[in-house]
Amino acid sequence: MSQSKLNIDSHAENYIEELSRDSSFEAVLSKARKRQVLRSMRLYKHSNILEIGCGLNPLFPCISDYKKYIIVEPSKEFAEFAESIDKKGKDVLVINGFLEDVISECGGQSFDFIFLSGVLHQVPQPESLLRTLYGLCGRDSVVHINVPNAFSFHRLLAVEMAYIETIFEKSETNAKLQVNWIFDKDSLIRLVQENEFDVLDFGTYFIKLFTNEQMEKLIAEDILKKDVINGLENMIKYMPDMGCEMFVNLRAK
C-alpha cells in the first residue's frame, strides 16, 4: 500500500505544531471529530475495535464498553504516546506501523467497529487501504471514515470571495499536512462503493466560517469563544451538507 510513501515523521511534526498553538483551531476540530466518531460508534456493536491512525487523540479513554481495542499508528511518537496512557486494566494493544505491514499482529480476527479518523485523505492510494480494510471485516463489521468536506461552508465562501478558484483547491494547511485528496460527498461515496463497501449513513459536522489561520485569529482575539464554537457545531442542523468535515459508516458487501 502506498500509504508508506507518506513522510510520517514530517507529518507528525507538523501535526503537533498545529495542535500546540494556544489558539489552535485544529484542536477544536480534533474534539469535534472525536465526538462524531463516538456518535457513530454508539449506533453499532463495538466489542472489538480497531483504530487506524490515533495521532495524539486515541479514543479508548473515552469509552469503556469494549472487550478488545487495537490501535495501528505509523508514527512512533504517536504510538508511544498512546502506549503511555493508562489503560485502566482494559485490553488495549498499540501497534506501531502501517496497516498493511502489521496485519498479522492484529490477531487474524474481524472487528466489530473499525475507524479511520482524519486519515483517508492523506493516503496516496486510498483504494489500496480500503482493500486492506475489507479483509479485516466480518459480515457485521462497521467501518467509520471521516475526511474534510470540499463543500464546507468556508470553502464555498472562499470561492465566492475569489480567494480560491475551486472548492477542490488545496490550502497551505493541506499541503503542510500532506493532504493528497479533497473529497466531496459524491467522490467519497463512489470510492468506497467501488471498493466493495455499502454506505450505511453519511453526514457532515461543524460549520467552519473561515480558514484555520483566520479562525485562530478569532480565537486569539477572544471573539470565537466556547459558546460560539458550540453554536457553530450545532448549526449543522440548518446546513447539513456544509460541515467542514464529513463521515461515512460502511459495511463490507
pLDDT digits (tens, 9 = 90+) for 58-115: 999 999 999 999 999 999 999 999 999 999 999 999 999 999 999 999 887 789 999 9
| Grid coordinates of 192 | 468506497
Distance (Å, rounded) from C-alpha 150 to C-alpha 199? 19
Q: What is the pLDDT of residues 209-244, one digit of tens each?
A: 999 999 999 999 999 999 999 999 999 999 999 999
Look at the block and give the residue holding cell 461515496.
189
* pLDDT for 168 beyond 70: yes
Look at the block and give the residue holding cell 486515541.
58
Max CA pair span of the chain:
54
Residues forming beta bridges with residue 72, ordered by sequence position: 52, 95
Tell me how far CA of residue 132 lies from CA of 3, 18, 75, in angstroms.
11, 30, 19
Q: Where are the domains of the chain?
A: 2-252
Architecture per CATH, 2-252 = 3-Layer(aba) Sandwich (3.40)
Overall average pLDDT of the 121-150 stretch: 95
Q: Structure pTM?
A: 0.93
Look at the block and give the residue holding cell 470561492.
159
Q: Report residue 222: phi and psi, to 5°.
A: 65, 25
Instruction: Tell me what pLDDT residue 152 has.
Output: 98
- Please give the distance of CA 144 from its chain centroid, rounded to a whole number: 9
Overall average pLDDT of the 134-150 stretch: 96
Per-residue pLDDT band for 198 (boundaries 50, 70, 90) equals very high
